[in-house]
Amino acid sequence: MADDLTWLLGRLVGTVPNTHGALLLSADGIAKCWHGLDNDGADTLAALSSGLCSLAHQVGTRFGGGGGVRQVVSELGDIILFVTAASAGTVLAVLASREVDAGTLSYEMGKLCTQVPSYLATPTRQHAAAFNHGDR
């Protein structure tokens, strides 16, 4: 399944000119699969994207937009970072140059997320059993 998701991310990057990398991550910041990034870059982008979603969620909760995070866009010097909710527990992050057509990229990201939501979902983690100090 990871190969299929990586292929979909590669197709997204290849479809939209000036797009450099794409990453699927769990909502808690674990990189699941990526295209156009090295391992360290994927891990770093996953942590940062998760943090952006968390901040946006808190803004919505505090100031009345509590319907969930749909998309966060960060315009930086030479790049733009798009972060969007992909499916239950999963986030899609895409890096692009400033020359990207933001509308086209947002549309393609949304299309990817609606076409294959069951593949994109991250199941909720199970709580570990409480450790009993008396049983050794």
**Predicted pLDDT at 27:** 85
One DSSP character per residue, 1-70 reads -HHHHHHHHHHHHHHSTTEEEEEEEETTS-EEEEES--HHHHHHHHHHHHHHHHHHHHHHHHHT-TT---
CA 81 – CA 114 distance, rounded (Å) = 20
CA 85 – CA 97 distance, rounded (Å) = 21
Q: State which amino acid sits at residue 14.
A: G
- Please check whether residue 135 lies inside any domain of the structure: no
CA 51 – CA 48 distance, rounded (Å) = 5
**Predicted pLDDT at 3:** 76
Q: Minimal CA–CA distance to 111: which of 16, 6, 3, 1?
A: 16
Q: State which amino acid sits at residue 90.
A: T
Domain that holds residue 69: 2-120
> What are the average pLDDT values for consecutive 10-residue runs of the chain, which has 136 residues?
81 96 92 95 96 88 77 93 87 96 94 72 54 46
CATH number for position 28: 3.30.450.30
- Please check whether residue 25 lies inside any domain of the structure: yes
Q: What is the pTM of this model?
A: 0.83
Tokens representing 56?
A: 């946006």
- In the chain, how many domains are there? 1
- Please check whether residue 128 lies inside any domain of the structure: no
- Tell me if 39 sits within 8 A of 32, measured CB to CB: no
**Predicted pLDDT at 132:** 47
